[in-house]
A = this chain, B = another copy of it.
Amino acid sequence: MLQEQKLDSTDIRLAKMLKALGNPIRFEIMEMLAARQTCLTYEIVQSTPLAQSTVSQHLKVLREAGLVRGEVEGPATCYCLDPDGIRWLKEQIEGWLPDCCTPATHR
Q: Is the CB of B34 within 8 A of A97?
A: yes
Per assembly, the copies of the chain total 2
In the bound complex, CA of A38 to CA of B101 (Å): 12
Shortest CB distance A81–B (Å): 5
Q: Is the CB of B89 within 8 A of A93?
A: yes
Whether A76 is near chain B, meaning CB under 8 Å from some CB there, is no
Q: Is the CB of A18 within 8 A of B14?
A: no
Residue of B nearest to A27 (CB): B15
Q: Is the CB of A83 within 8 A of B69?
A: no
Write out the residue numbers on chain B whose beta carbons fall within 8 Å of the beta carbon of A107. 37-38, 80
Whether A28 is near chain B, meaning CB under 8 Å from some CB there, is yes
Q: Is the CB of B23 within 8 A of A15?
A: yes
In the bound complex, CA of A87 to CA of B105 (Å): 11
Contact of A106 among B28, B30, B83 (CB under 8 A): B83
Write out the residue numbers on chain B whose beta carbons fall within 8 Å of the beta carbon of A18. 18-19, 21-22, 27
